[in-house]
Amino acid sequence: DTGVSQDPRHKITKRGQNVTFRCDPISEHNRLYWYRQTLGQGPEFLTYFQNEAQLEKSRLLSDRFSAERPKGSFSTLEIQRTEQGDSAMYLCASSWAGGYTFGSGTRLTVV
């Protein structure tokens, strides 16, 4: 068990570019979550999967955000046409009907 892995750790992108983040959960965990966290705030829910099914997506999330979890294993989060307001730490977490194990996150900076 190597924990939850996220890649990349840091991403700097120009406004308007597309970015994609990857999350590898703990293999036995069937649930996978994406959260966004800005400085001084708690994690904000984005979306979650149970196995390969995306069960909920935050209404705050615009159509520029999309997530996938093919075959119920790793997940990707894509942000299209990035905006400066997208700058944040993107956290992935996995669980098996209990506490969440978070990854170290991907810090996105949009310039």
Task: Give contact residues for another protein (rule: CB under 8 A).
Answer: 31, 33, 35, 40-45, 48, 50, 55-56, 91, 98-105
Q: CA-CA distance, 30 to 85, in Å (whole number)?
A: 31
CB of 88 to another protein, least distance (A): 14
CB within 8 Å of 2: residues ≥ 6 apart? none
**Nearest residue (CB) to another protein, 25 versus 105:** 105
**Nearest residue (CB) to another protein, 35 versus 79:** 35
Alpha carbon 25 to chain centroid distance?
A: 11
CB of 15 to another protein, least distance (A): 25
CB 46 within 8 A of CB 38: no
Q: Minimal CA–CA distance to 85: which of 23, 16, 10?
A: 16
CB of 19 to another protein, least distance (A): 20
